[in-house]
Amino acid sequence: MARKVIIAGNWKMNKTAAEGKALVEELKPLVAGVTAADIVVCPPFTTLGAVIEAAKGSNIKVGAQNVHWEKSGAFTGEISADMLVEAGVEYVIIGHSERRQYFGETDETVNKRVKAAIAAGLKVIMCVGETLEERESNKTQAVLDAQLEGGLAGISAADAEGIVIAYEPVWAIGTGKTATPDVAEETQAGIRAKLAALYSKEVAENIRIQYGGSMKADNAEALVSKKDIDGGLIGGAALKAGSFAELIANGIKGAQSK
């Protein structure tokens, strides 16, 4: 079990450049010296520059929340992978359920974004997750299988190993309802089984799978103590340096108890 914990903050449409800089300045001393987890913050596009500057020389990595698949051209309002790389971005979240729900994201567009991001050298956090209705009608595994198959279509095993999968049950995002560690583990074991079917058992064992959806400092340890939960994608609890740092420490504790 050599998978390194990865805790990523998804700030969504929160934090101006000044606020983002202040958060990172506050977070830096709280996580200084932490090497047992990859720590990532994902601010809005216009906040990236200030956060990248503030995070320089620290163990805090920076990601974007979306990327377009074309390199350049007439795509008003979009940002390319090369633009993110030039700005100093290292990670990118792709296919978050809010983008699927509100902005017409499909498995096909997720796949195009993943390919473009990898080609540009970005590290991908690809989100999958079922709705409450899908869970209640026993479609969870089928939905996740289709999202994984579609999102990873044409991605080589070598590239897939570098991708982080974020399992985020839609019903748990921002609702305060967390999947119990057992439910999250059972589902993420299913995700790993699908990855093994798509690639191989060995490749699947190397892919990190985060849990996301109302993960907080007080449930992070129990969640990350589970075999197939390698970290978290955090919304609300990532917006304050103190709670985010505590969550990271507890997540590491969970991983150490495996």
Residues 6+ apart with CB under 8 A from 124: 91, 92, 94, 114, 117, 118, 162, 163, 164
Please state, as a whole number, how many other Cβ atoms lie within 10 Å of the Cβ of residue 136: 11
**Is residue 95 at the binding interface for ligand PGA, with CB under 6 A as the rule?**
no
| Sites for ligand PGA among residues 193-212 (CB under 6 A) | 212
- Cα–Cα distance for residue pair 147/150, rounded to 1 Å: 5
Catalytic residue (choose from 96, 98, 105, 221): 96
Q: Which residue is nearest to ligand PGA (CB)?
A: 235
Residues 6+ apart with CB under 8 A from 158: none
* Among the listed residues 114, 10, 119, the one whose alpha carbon sits nearest the alpha carbon of residue 62: 10
**Is residue 174 at the binding interface for ligand PGA, with CB under 6 A as the rule?**
yes
- Cα–Cα distance for residue pair 125/98, rounded to 1 Å: 14
Of 65 and 225, the one with the shorter C-beta distance to ligand PGA is 65
**Is residue 213 at the binding interface for ligand PGA, with CB under 6 A as the rule?**
yes
**Is residue 188 at the binding interface for ligand PGA, with CB under 6 A as the rule?**
no
**Is residue 122 at the binding interface for ligand PGA, with CB under 6 A as the rule?**
no
| Candidate list 168, 185, 221, 228; residue touching ligand PGA; CB under 6 A | 168
**Is residue 130 at the binding interface for ligand PGA, with CB under 6 A as the rule?**
no
168 a catalytic residue: yes
Strand partners, 209: 165
Contact assessment for residue 126 and residue 110, using Cβ atoms and an 8 Å cutoff? yes
Q: How many helices (H) and strands (E) does the chain have?
A: 12, 8
68 a catalytic residue: no
Of 43 and 212, the one with the shorter C-beta distance to ligand PGA is 212
Of 92 and 173, the one with the shorter C-beta distance to ligand PGA is 173
| Candidate list 84, 209, 215, 223; residue touching ligand PGA; CB under 6 A | 215
- Cα–Cα distance for residue pair 215/178, rounded to 1 Å: 7
Listed ranges 60-68, 84-92, 139-147, 230-238: which one lies at the site for ligand PGA (CB under 6 A): 230-238
The two tokens of residue 156 are 């080589």
* Among the listed residues 166, 207, 205, the one whose alpha carbon sits nearest the alpha carbon of residue 184: 166
Distance of closest approach, residue 129 Cβ to ligand PGA, in angstroms:
9
**Is residue 214 at the binding interface for ligand PGA, with CB under 6 A as the rule?**
yes
Of 160 and 234, the one with the shorter C-beta distance to ligand PGA is 234
Of 199 and 231, the one with the shorter C-beta distance to ligand PGA is 231
* Among the listed residues 254, 248, 242, 237, the one whose alpha carbon sits nearest the alpha carbon of residue 11: 237
Element (H, E) at 86: helix 81-87
| Sites for ligand PGA among residues 3-42 (CB under 6 A) | 10
Of 233 and 252, the one with the shorter C-beta distance to ligand PGA is 233
Q: Indicate which residues carry an active-site annotation.
A: 96, 168
* Site residues (vs ligand PGA, CB under 6 A): 10, 168, 173-174, 212-215, 233-237
